Amino acid sequence: MPDTTVRAADGGNFSAYLATPESGKGPGVGVIQEIFGVNPWIRSVADRWAAAGYVAMAPDLFWRIKPGIQLTDKGADFQTAIGLMQKMDQGKAIEDIQATIDALRKNPACTGKVGAVGYCLGGRLAYMTAARTNADAAVGYYGVGIDNIIGEAGNIKKPLLLHVAEKDGFVPPPVQAKMKEGLAGNSHVTMLTYAGQDHAFARDGGDHFDKAAADLANGRTADFFKRNLA
């Protein structure tokens, strides 16, 4: 599948990986990257959504720092990825996600509704997407640092699904408890916990990948998008 170009709200263009369904039409899904950029794994996620009948677009959210980043989760790449995440302006990243949502809605292959799904860093950004953009639905996998912005829960007016790894080393039990407490009053938000799972349990080939848990979470995400984007 080819990359496409998206116009940023404050000027400039950034690339996004675009995957379209065989049918040529479908709802839109923005695929929000991990800290490793729009790498082969994120592209494979977009491809899977396209195979399921969605128009999937994965924006390059590191473009303001260095365009075209594609890292692995191994060795020196991991430290490079941490550095990029620390330099990222997440507010600007949300503006770029909104621009991606707008681009999907204008794409002739998109039937109208647009959701977003993100992983790790993208899981936090998916939460922010639900709070700050006009996405029709959002899903976050093991988002890190959501507790620090839990006050934004009151701005979430559309469905949000959060997949939480019980043994996530980056999101320990007290943080998970704070998230649960802070989100309890919003009926639009569903938080599901995966017993015994660690961070990135849904990343194929990763150190903590668990096929059963990944299949369960991915199936729930598919059902969630079917309900909210069809």
The residues carrying an active-site annotation are: 168, 199
The two beta strands, 189-194 and 160-165, are parallel
Alpha-carbon gap, residue 41 to 81, rounded angstroms: 15
Encoded tokens for 177: 């408890």
**How does DSSP assign 71-120, residue by residue?**
--SSHHHHHHHHHHHHH--HHHHHHHHHHHHHHHHHSTTEEEEEEEEEET
Residues 161-189 as b or e (16 or more Cβ within 10 Å = b): bbbbbeebeebeeebbeebeebbeeeeeb
Q: 195: Cβ–Cβ under 8 A, 6 or more apart, which residues? A: 166
Nearest alpha carbon to residue 217 among 229, 199, 228, 207: 199
- Collapse the DSSP code of 37 into the 3-class scheme (helix H, G, I; strand E, B; otherwise coil) and give the result: strand
- Indicate the helix (H) or strand (E) that contains 161: strand 160-165
Residue spans of alpha helices (H) in the chain: 40-51, 75-87, 90-106, 121-132, 173-183, 211-229
Q: What's at 107, amino acid-wise?
A: N
